[in-house]
Amino acid sequence: MKPSANQPPSSPSPLTSPPRAAGIFAGVAQNKPEATLVILGLVTLIVAQFIQGFPPAAQQWVPGVLGLGGIMVLVGVQATYAKRLPAWVARPLQGVGQRLGVHESQVIFLVVGVLYAVLAARTIDFGPKLRAPFITYSIWGLGIGSVWLAGWREEANRWPSRRVWGITGGVTLLALLTRGVFTAQYPPFLTSDEASMGLNAMAFVKGETNNLFNVGWYSFPALFYYLESFSLWLLGQNMEALRVFSALAGALTVGGTYLVGRMLFGARAALVGALFLVGFHFHIHFSRLGLNNVWDGLVFIVVIGGLWAGWQNGKRVYFLIAGVALGLSIYLYASARLLFVLIPAWVFVAGILDRARLRRALPGLFWMGAVAFVVAAPLGWFYFNNPNEFLAPMRRVAIDGAWIAGNAQRTGTSAWWVVLRQIFLGLQAYVRENLVGFYLPETPMLRPLAGGVFLAGLALLSLHARETRAWLVFLWLVGFGMMTGITHEPTAAQRFVAAAPAVALLIGFALHELTQILSELMPQARTVLTGLIFAGVVWMAVDDVRFYFWDFAPRAQALYDTNWVANDLAHHFAAQPENTQIFFYGAPQMGFYSHASMPFLAPHVVGHDVTIPPKPPITGSVVFVFLPAYQAELTEVQQLYPGGTLREVHTDEGVLLYTRYEGTW
């Protein structure tokens, strides 16, 4: 019997293959706390030896860690001979284990796992390089693995069937085609932010940094730069290598949206939503940029999918998966931090609606939080010691008291009204207010047809206000509108990227629900109606693809003239000989180093941002670049360095963009 959109699918709905045999972590399930104490005690003693060579912040832990490891070994050996644990050890282990739904041995794994995560955090340096990266990362990995084992429960988990995996793979591949092909041509320019991230990634390639628990350009966490460095190392320092990583994340998000949609609303709604996301122009754009924004959407879908699956069927493994993704979220773009507000808010509402299920889910929620803690601990420690780095991405864009007071005075309204108006503008970015910032399609996030379906979906979702799944999608969407609403640009496109899967889920739900309602009114037309909703979503997806590649892309030059100038010059510089000198006259509009696409695409040239002509002699290959405001300096340079080649570059409308004067002297 297929689940309807009026009722959440039962827990086995998307999981139709036979149960897998238990036994992966059978040693933990056998509950041998004596052996666990001895083994983990020895590991702890070894860890203590390794951290002795670290700075004082880590060394001060050595005596305590040695003592703990020694006690664990002694107690474990004694208990082995006595055939039982001493009461002062057994009672706390049993009490905690009963509350958390695990064996005594798993409580030991929990304690040492948290300890290892803390030790890994204390070994980090706050500079670009770790003293002993292999040791730090190994201790961190031990912590994550230990807490995972601590929360593990042998249970018959049914995983998606081959058919489900086939559909998931199909929509993922379709999404990869719309995101990963011709990435250097669409968008047709490399933004400065992309190039800045690429330069940070190249620092890993060159060995200039190895610290994942730090921040790089614009106070964004370094882990993203490290992961991006693999494609740059493999494919070279170019636009395609920089963007392929985001294309992969965007495609995986589409596949994840299908799997999560099955659990929330059933198979048909999931496929409709995933097909929409395949062609969604907004998500395509950010999947084709070498930025960290699109990874937030993937993390959101994994966290929310794992949380919902665990909530529905009580399987511990889903909570653990959600916990790992939640911990990783702080290593990505700042919008992922919304998860730390969204999850507690949803659990609170879900607990009111279904108190019995909340009680059953409490151990799983604890283990989700525990795994998230050990994953996030090292970077969390960095942020604790460098709070300005944590706050920087928010301080740059958030409205403050002075801004609110100034707007209230200008408009003659109260401060509260100013804030509410901003939030209302943020919420309208879905269907009413045009996007700004890193994507300028001159439309809201959703174009007219999809926007209408979205609004219908919100209305239909409100009819299910007693269902916890409805609140999960609703809070996801509203949370992003409110978060962006407290910034200077409440419709900034780059801050809504992680909301795209929720938009797709709602559209899938809306079309599926409408089909269900109409099918009840016209049962003889059920097949036709099903065909119509799939035709409709394919139409929306194809039209969004057309809009992005054939409407937005040709207009991009006029919308982003500074980016276009920088990229045109960067490609020209890339063809110049080694150590060519570039003298750039562009302040305050732009400069060689203020727009990172030039040093990224042409790393072998030497740039100079100048406002007055350099005095002779200058030898070798030289390129002078003049923005329109520097025509007087152009004349002076031609007099100082005669015999060069002059070229003016204009827009299609004939507007001068820049002048290039070059030669060898």
Residues 590-637 have pLDDT tens digits of: 999 999 999 999 999 999 999 888 887 888 999 999 999 999 999 999
Q: What is the reported pLDDT for 330? A: 97
Sign of the alpha-carbon dihedral angle for 439, 549, 269, 303: negative
Exposed (0-12), middle (13-18) or buried (19+): which is 198, by Cβ within 10 Å?
Answer: buried
Buried (b) or exposed (e) across 258-270, using 16+ Cβ within 10 A? bbbbbbbbbbbbb
Evaluated on CA atoms 462, 467, 471, 473, the torsion sign reads negative
Separation of alpha carbons 201 and 462, rounded Å: 45
Neighbours of 404 (CB within 10 A): 18
Is residue 3 over pLDDT 60? no
Question: Strand, coil or helix: what is 606?
Answer: strand
pLDDT for 180 equals 96
Banded pLDDT at 302 (limits 50, 70, 90): very high
When pLDDT is averaged across residues 411-434 and rounded to a whole number, the result is 93
> Which pLDDT belongs to residue 585?
95
Could you report the per-residue pLDDT of 480-500, keeping only the tens digit for each?
A: 999 999 999 999 999 999 999
Confidence of residue 12 (pLDDT cuts 50, 70, 90): very low
What pLDDT is stored for residue 9 in this prediction? 46
User: Is residue 4 over pLDDT 80?
Assistant: no
Q: Give the pLDDT confidence score for residue 558 in this predicted structure.
A: 66
Section 564-578 average pLDDT: 93
What pLDDT, on the 0 to 100 scale, is given for residue 557? 67
Q: Is the pTM of this model over 0.75?
A: yes
**Mean pLDDT within 586-592:** 90
Q: What is the pLDDT of residue 225?
A: 97
What local confidence, expressed as pLDDT, does residue 7 receive?
A: 46
CA within 13 Å, CB half, 436: 11
Residue 30 has a pLDDT of 56
DSSP per-residue letters across 371-400: HHHHHHHHHHHHHHH-HHHHHHHHHTTB--
188 pLDDT more than 90: no
Query: What's the mean pLDDT when you consider all of the chain?
Result: 92
What are the structure tokens assigned to 461, written together? 């979702």
Q: What are the residue boundaries of the structural domains of the chain, listed by start?
A: 26-151, 188-558, 561-664
Q: Copy the structure tokens of residue 240.
A: 């395609």
Q: Output the six-digit token pair for 564.
A: 């276009």
CA 194/CA 52 separation, integer angstroms: 40
The C-alpha atoms of residue 303 and residue 324 are separated, in whole angstroms, by 8
Which stretch, 297-306, 392-401, 407-416, 585-594, has highest mean pLDDT?
297-306
Is residue 364 over pLDDT 60? Answer: yes
Six token digits for residue 265: 């609303």
Question: Are 48 and 62 contacting, i.e. CB atoms less than 8 angstroms apart?
Answer: yes
**pLDDT value of residue 613:** 83
Dist. CA 327–CA 370, nearest whole Å: 9
**Beta-sheet pairing, 581-585 with 621-626:** parallel
CA dihedral 140→146→152→157, nearest 10 degrees, is 50
CA dist., res. 269 & res. 262, Å (int): 7
How far apart CA 592 and CA 566 sit, in angstroms, is 8
Per-residue confidence (pLDDT) for residue 29, from 0 to 100: 45
More confident residue, 559 or 448: 448
Give the pLDDT confidence of 268-278 residue by residue, as tens digits.
Answer: 999 999 999 99
Average pLDDT over residues 443-460: 97
Cβ neighbours of 131 (radius 10 Å): 15
How many other β-carbons are positioned within 10 Å of the β-carbon of residue 135?
A: 18
Distance from C-alpha of 614 to C-alpha of 129, rounded to nearest angstrom: 38
- Identify the band that residue 564 occupies on the pLDDT scale cut at 50, 70 and 90: confident
By the 8 A CB rule, do 592 and 568 touch?
Answer: no
pLDDT for 17 beyond 50: no
Separation CA 512–CA 503 (nearest Å): 14
Q: Would you say residue 233 has pLDDT above 90?
A: yes
